[in-house]
Amino acid sequence: MKNTTVNVILYKSKILATGEHPLMLRVIQDRKVKYKSIGISCRADLWDFKKGLPRKNHPNKATIEAIIDNKRAEYKAKVLDLKRDKESFSSDELIELVEKPVRQTTLFTFLNELIDRFISTGNIGNAKTHKDTRRILLEFLNIKDISFNRIDQSFLLRLETSLRKKGLSEVSISVYFRTLRAIYNRAIVENIVKAESYPFTKFKVSKFDITTRKRAIQKEDLETIEYLKLPQEPIFELARKTFLFSYFGSGINFIDIANLKWHNIQDKRLFYKRAKTGKIINFMLLPPALSILKSYENDTFLDGEDFIFPILDRHRHVTPQQIANRIQKVITQVNAALKQIGKMAGIKTPLTTYVARHTFATVLKRSNVATAIISEAMGHTSEFTTRTYLKSFDNDILDEAAKNLMW
């Protein structure tokens, strides 16, 4: 990247009505010159052309010099940022980046806009996360709105202290701060706040311990759950079936189970797109999983567009918001039922839909399946990493590994 030159000159080619000449910023990048007015002017006899500054006898010498120094510093900082990030730019682009006026808006105004965008595009998960973060910030700020410039390192430290006093878990605090950081980054992109004000350079969100505690149960516990006599309420049977299907179904999560349709089943394999990552997943359906699917076969089985599990109704739950609301309601009921099932089965670990996913990964690991095939990352870092590991193997290798799930 070639050198960038930024100077302030007296633009003698133009004479104003006052007889003065405008002071222009001259930006030279890759031998291309671009001029930009800095909004002030000066008479030629009061300008030192050699130094590029007003002469000593100029009545507003100090003010003009301060404006020039600030402008030069602003451009120098932007050039350093671009070069540090190894981004190429023209003189026009440099001026656009520096001079584009900052959009005047507040934290909650912008946050509400983001939530509306997520909802309008069907991104209900992100909308919910941002709503939760908005609620936390509203409580912290006592419902008072603030500008983004108020969000500095001191603000973040005080927010952290407040959340810890509330007794929030490390994972929850991490989610709120990562969401706030994403909001701030988007505000920079949309020119609401200057990148130079970024407070997360020193305040590291990575400091929060988000290691998930082990929540797997024993393979024998799964067998107990399968044959356990349950109360007659339908929610208990739904809880058991979704839990076992997740375990036998490559750790498929509840949202994806709820969205499964009959057309996702092909030749005793399940093909579906992950709601969270958009990745296409397919795996062999083991006999227990096939048995669960068979229990839901009825007249609608012939219609591939019907949902498999009795969670969503294609005629009632149509919009992304309706689907998200319904899934949230049912998963709450299912998790409550699972906790009761766990107690009835004598299992010490409180059962949730997540426990089935974690158990899937842990049982394979205990069976000496290579960690490269089924990564410990499903429980310790991120689900995305786990899928990245799985993606690099052929289906027959994964199918063979899945046989270790049987008792």
Each residue's pLDDT expressed in tens, for the chain with a length of 407 residues:
467 888 899 999 999 988 999 999 898 888 888 898 888 999 999 999 999 999 999 999 998 999 898 888 888 887 887 777 666 778 887 887 777 666 778 999 999 999 999 888 888 888 999 999 999 999 999 988 999 989 999 999 999 999 999 999 888 999 999 999 999 998 888 888 888 788 998 899 988 866 555 578 888 899 999 999 999 999 999 999 999 999 999 889 999 999 999 999 998 999 998 887 777 888 889 999 999 999 998 755 557 889 999 999 998 999 888 998 999 999 999 999 999 999 999 998 999 998 998 888 878 777 776 666 665 334 334 545 544 433 444 455 556 556 666 66
Q: Are 253 and 357 in contact (CB under 8 A)?
A: yes
Do 175 and 242 sit in the same domain of this protein? no
State the residue range of the domain holding 17: 4-98
Do 226 and 370 sit in the same domain of this protein? yes
Do 235 and 366 sit in the same domain of this protein? yes
Q: Which two tokens stand for residue 338?
A: 């699972």
Number of domains within the chain: 3
Q: Are 242 and 309 in contact (CB under 8 A)?
A: yes
Please check whether residue 117 lies inside any domain of the structure. Answer: yes
Among 185, 207, 229, the domain boundary falls at 207
Q: Which two tokens stand for residue 269?
A: 């394999």
Q: Which amino acid is at 95?
A: I
Do 119 and 73 sit in the same domain of this protein? no
Please check whether residue 213 lies inside any domain of the structure. Answer: no
Please check whether residue 140 lies inside any domain of the structure. Answer: yes
Q: Is the pTM of this model over 0.85?
A: no
The conformation of residue 24, written as its DSSP 8-state character, comes to E
**Cα gap 179→175, rounded to integer Å:** 6
Do 390 and 245 sit in the same domain of this protein? yes
Dihedral through CA 207, CA 208, CA 211, CA 213, nearest 10? Answer: 140
